[in-house]
Structure 1
Amino acid sequence: MKEKDLLFFQPLWRRIVVTLFCAGWAGWEWLNGQTLWGLIITGVTLYCYWTLFHTFVPIERQDKKG
């Protein structure tokens, strides 16, 4: 990911919201019988999990005193 993306996803709540949104969307597609879109969005959800939780390395804040 680019540095600007890393800055946007630093707060944990944003990573959770994006991943849950994708999971909900995938569930919606599967429930409506849209197999192709269900597979695509399930892949996007897995990518979100992998990138935003499994391999995500938070940036250390440089403004700490000490």
Structure 2
Amino acid sequence: MKILDAAHPFYRPLWRRIAIVALSFAWAAFELSNGETIWAMVFGAIGLYCGWALLVAYKPVIGDGEKNG
């Protein structure tokens, strides 16, 4: 079982993948600014994992069998 299934159609648009990674790092920065270093490290790690899975190692699915009506 994968933690994050990057092949899911939800992750197909690039803007969504970038937004997920950016939101994770933004939340880490928010937690760090409030002095919560543990939560900042947790969300930073989530951002790193999402960045790797959704941006670096992402392979788009071609011909996934969707029908147009």
Q: Shorter-chain TM-score category?
A: 0.7 to 0.9
Paired residue for 1:57, among 33, 56, 59? 59
Cα RMSD over matched residues? Answer: 1.9
TM-score with structure 2 setting the length: 0.79
User: Alpha-carbon deviation of 1:27?
Assistant: 0.4
TM-score with structure 1 setting the length: 0.82
**Runs (4+) off by over 4 Å:** none
Gap runs ≥5 in structure 1:
none
- Name the % identity: 32
Paired residue for 2:12, among 3, 10, 13? 10
Distance 1:34 1:62 in 2: 42
Matched, 1:27 2:33: no
Distance 1:59 1:17 in 2: 20
**Equivalent runs, 1:35-50 vs 2, <5 Å:** 35-50=37-52
* Greater helix fraction, Structure 1 or Structure 2: 1
User: Alpha-carbon deviation of 1:39?
Assistant: 0.6
Cα shift readout 1:3-57 (whole Å, capped 9, x = no counterpart): 7x52110110110111111110000011111011011000000001000011100
